[in-house]
Structure 1
Amino acid sequence: MKVLIIKMGYSEALHPGSEFDETASLGEVLRTTVILHLFKNDQVTWLIDWNQSPIKNPRPLLENNPLIHRILPFNPISILQLQSEFFDVVINLERVPGICALAESINAESKYGFRFDKILGDVRPDFHYTLEPYMSIDTKREMKKPWQEILFNLLGKSWNKEEYSLGYQPGRLKTIYDIGFNYQVGTSWPLKAWSIKNFHQLENKLIQKDFHISWQQGMDNLQDYIDWIHSCKMIITNDSLGLHLAIALKKQIIALFGPSSPDEVYLYELGTKILPAGNFSCMPCWNQKCEKKKSCMEEITVDQVYKEVIRLLPDAQRDYQRNNNP
């Protein structure tokens, strides 16, 4: 069976109001790899935009993945090729009108995801199984389903805790840090960030317990970034690409959530999620700008995170000392 997956990270598939962004959301690409387990014996083609900077090029997430038969670049030559082929299944997870129009034009037995409405000239989330319920913020708050389950349901399947499938496998660095601070977030969602001030205060508390801390590295090259995450035993992270890479690499995780939905991210029992201590009826809002005087992420306290580190890594500092002393 021939399968085409269209997921470049141009749009947040389940975020109402998500706009086209030429800067790829790589977390969206990585967490979509979970559906590859449904096509282990098939020929899978993945369409991506690899005309990106080294840190935004999604190829390392997919390249050398045994579950992917070929990766095609999003360019006029590939478009002509795809329009001349036949596929058994086309899965389009981009909400961009032009890409939806491309998905409409490809010959296939079955199509899933977003389509192009030729009358309205706009995107519709109802190729085969409707995604319409997930376009409403109120409905999304009530459903509380992880992305993996939503994707499998989209394809008419049941999700049985299948995991991400990362192409690039790091090997140049061993685990040398107790904790990595994955503090940056993408420019599209600045409200997801926990403050640098809080990370510094947390560092001061942790180094008193002899924890070995590393701040986010490899931000000029995606492979270097993956290597850095691989070098850490635990990752403390905002809701960002680093969170999904930590999941794929099976790191211990403390994930900080505020304006985005913690229910959409499944941690596979690798750690814990921390939410603001206060009662915020607006969470999650998926807004890029906060309408409140104080954002929800400001209500996640340093003590909250510190207590979870001690609970999850009680012997980390001794492990580090043992591994680094002659």
Structure 2
Amino acid sequence: MKRVLIIKLGALGDVVRSTIFISEFEKDYEIHWLTSQKSKDVLSSQKIKRLYFYENDNDKSQLKNTEFDLVLCLEEDLQLLEYVSKIKSQKTIGHFLNNGKVDYTQECNYWLDMSFVSKIHDKETADKIKLQNKKSVNQIWMEMISGKDGWKSQEYDIGTTPKNINGVIGFIDISESKWPNKFWTGYPDLKQKLEADGYQVISLGMKQTVKEHIEDINNCELVVCGDTSGMHIALALGKKVVAIFNCTPPNEIYDYGRMKKIISPLLEKYFLKRTNDLEAQSKVSINEVYGVIKKLIN
């Protein structure tokens, strides 16, 4: 059987999202995965033949002595790409090292031409294209490896069995250091309204381990969040999700028919800004989020 090496270390949400490749590759490839220790709990699928950890020198040494039919590299870190350049493969899709600089294969043009590593656009132009883009990253990635007909709503596969829970609503009510404007200020008042209706509301802040965070999310019927790693985990677990988008592109997230997106009217003003702005974090109304929850959960 052919071998594929998927390279995705972080961020955690993107690692979860990249598990859509598992169902695409499992029939024809033995799936190997280079990742980081912090991501191992979302890569528990039995369909993955072997995990390698970038922090582990023995794993990296073994990878250099293994030949792959395909390497799918979803990381743009220069030091990592220097290492990846030493892995033997028949074909690479994704990022690679070209004369000491980060480059990407032509299959990735749609995705990466609107990114900060774009070869043809400055950041301002790339951000404008990203704002106008209508495709989810899931669709872009599947078309990247399988052509225009490759997207078939492939599901996440994090190797955890979803629980059937009723009446418990989880809030991922934490701020992310890199993206403060993903936070929403309405959680405390929303919690009061929902508890008055008889729902149990729990906070889903990060725990000591990702495994514990997954378990907390799995114990919910519905999750309210921003564009976070927990949002992807909730989707992977088949949960109903209400996601608030204050500063990141909502169209890049595929809803799988179980997520409702609430898009801030100030999205364009704060698009991809990593500042800390109360206006951005508070514009979405509590009543709007409450109304969407009631429609989803009843």
TM-score of the two chains, using structure 2 as the length reference: 0.88
Report the counterpart of residue 119 of structure 2 in structure 1: none
* Counterpart residue number, 1:159: 151
Question: Which residue number corresponds to residue 256 of structure 1?
Answer: 244
Q: Are 2:15 and 1:29 aligned?
A: yes
The one-letter code matched in structure 2 to 1:60 is D
State the secondary structure of the residue aligned to 1:58.
helix
Query: Counterparts of 1:106 and 1:313 in 2: how far apart (Å)?
Result: 48
Q: Which one of 125, 138, 144 corresponds to residue 104 of structure 2?
A: 125
Q: Report the identity percentage.
A: 24
Q: Distance between the aligned counterparts of 1:89 and 1:180, measured in 2? A: 39
Distance 1:295 1:167 in 2: 39
Can you list the C-alpha shifts for 1:223-245, whole angstroms capped at 9, x where unaligned? 22111111111111111111011
Listed as ranges, the gaps of 5+ residues in structure 2 are 116-125
Root-mean-square deviation over aligned CA pairs: 1.9
Runs of 4 or more, structure 1, over 6 Å off, are none
Residue 175 (structure 2) pairs with residue 191 (structure 1): no
Q: Are residue 286 (structure 1) and residue 265 (structure 2) matched?
A: no
Shift of 1:202: 0.7
Check 1:128–1:255 CA distance in 2 against 1; reply closer, same or farther (3 A cut): closer
8 Å CA contact retained: 1:126, 1:132? no
Query: AA paired with 1:309?
Result: I
Indicate if the aligned counterparts of 2:174 and 2:183 stay in contact, CA closer than 8 A.
Answer: yes
Q: How far is the alpha carbon of 1:84 from its aligned partner?
A: 2.0
User: Contact (CA 8 Å) 1:177, 1:233: kept in 2 or not?
Assistant: yes
Select which of 77, 98, 108 maps to 2:89: 108
**Shift in Å at residue 175 of structure 1?**
2.4
- Report the CA distance between 1:138 and its aligned residue: 1.4
- Which residue number corresponds to residue 7 of structure 1? 8
2:255 match: secondary structure: coil
Structure 2 letter corresponding to 1:6: I
Gapped runs of 5+ residues in structure 1? 10-24, 51-56, 315-326
- 1:60 and 2:48 are equivalent in the alignment: no
Say whether residues 1:296 and 2:280 are aligned partners: yes
Equivalenced residues, count? 282
User: Matched residues in 1 for 2:287 and 2:77: separation?
Assistant: 42
Residue 224 (1) aligns with residue 212 (2): yes
Partner-residue secondary structure (3-state), 2:268? coil
Shifted more, 174-183 versus 103-112: the winner is 174-183
Contact 1:217 1:228 in 2 (8 A): no
2:201 aligned residue (202, 213, 219): 213
Instruction: With the length of structure 1 as denominator, give the TM-score of the two structures.
Output: 0.81
